[in-house]
């Protein structure tokens, strides 16, 4: 799918990898971007940086059906269509199955992770796909593209990541059935499982911690550049023959247990 002038929804797009992707797709590919995020201040700042002509922000709770429907309606009202959906919103919930004194973790903590990281992905994907079905098929083939963001934790979750890893594995599990179903209306579905990237939060870590993280990388021996993630998103949008796949974007690194 040609990216120029296409309307791209990015959840979690007010910061980190989502914001970097918004910048790349607008500045390098001339897309139009709708940011779905809970952080109003960050979302408004992002639109100020990106320009209101090609960017918009809607405060959105991806785990809430009405909130997502309102956000999708706002995008249709402003831009008239949705062509791409990048689901990046997630909560990095970390807790052990058995906490202090061997007590079982409350189910509510696990449910919080699934509500955002898994249910939220399906919630946004399904509502965007409904509108993608109305798009004119580009080159007679595709009407939309979905990119769901998983994680290396889906494969090698660390101690304390049971909930997070389970939700990210669930994102990968949606790939093939969604690609097979939505392919009938010309919508492709892929996922990216990123490793460690040099986000603003990570860059603020102590130098010793950063060096330790870099040592875990295979090749290249560094954390990922956020533009490399954005470039991968662009590739998945533009290459019409990639469907039902998960791209491990992690420099061949595999996280240790701790």
Among all residues, which ones are annotated catalytic?
164
Question: How far is Cα 236 from Cα 243, in angstroms, rounded to an integer?
Answer: 8
Q: Could you write out the DSSP letters of every residue in 61-128? A: -TT-HHHHHHHHHHHHHHHS---EEEE---------SB-GGGPBPPHHHHHHHHIIIIIHHHHHHHHH
CA dihedral 90, 31, 188, 229 (to 10 degrees): -50
Whether the ω angle into residue 11 lies within 30 degrees of 0, i.e. cis, is no
What is the 8-class DSSP label of residue 13? T
């Amino acid at each position: 799918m040609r990216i120029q002038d296409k309307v791209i929804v990015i959840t979690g797009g007010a910061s980190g990898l989502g914001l970097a992707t918004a910048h790349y797709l607008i500045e390098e590919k001339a897309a139009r971007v709708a940011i779905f995020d809970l952080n109003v201040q960050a979302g408004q700042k992002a639109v100020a940086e990106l320009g209101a002509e090609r960017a918009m922000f809607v405060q959105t709770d991806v785990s809430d059906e009405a909130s997502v429907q309102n956000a999708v309606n706002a995008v249709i009202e402003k831009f008239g269509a949705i062509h791409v959906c990048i689901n990046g919103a997630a909560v990095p919930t970390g807790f052990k199955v058995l906490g202090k004194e061997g007590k079982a973790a409350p189910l509510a903590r696990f449910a919080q992770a699934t509500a955002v990281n898994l249910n939220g992905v399906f919630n946004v994907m399904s509502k965007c796909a409904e509108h993608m079905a109305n798009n004119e098929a580009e080159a007679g083939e595709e009407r939309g593209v979905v990119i769901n963001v998983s994680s290396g934790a889906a494969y090698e979750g660390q101690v304390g990541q049971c909930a997070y890893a389970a939700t990210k594995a669930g994102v990968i599990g949606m790939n093939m059935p969604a690609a097979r179903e939505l392919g009938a209306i010309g919508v492709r579905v892929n996922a990216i499982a990123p490793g460690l990237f040099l986000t603003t939060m990570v860059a603020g870590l102590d130098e010793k911690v950063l060096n330790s993280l870099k040592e875990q990388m295979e090749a290249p021996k560094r954390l990922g550049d956020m533009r490399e993630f954005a470039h991968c998103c662009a590739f998945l949008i533009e290459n019409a023959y990639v469907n039902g796949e998960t791209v491990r974007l992690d420099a061949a690194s595999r996280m240790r247990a701790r």
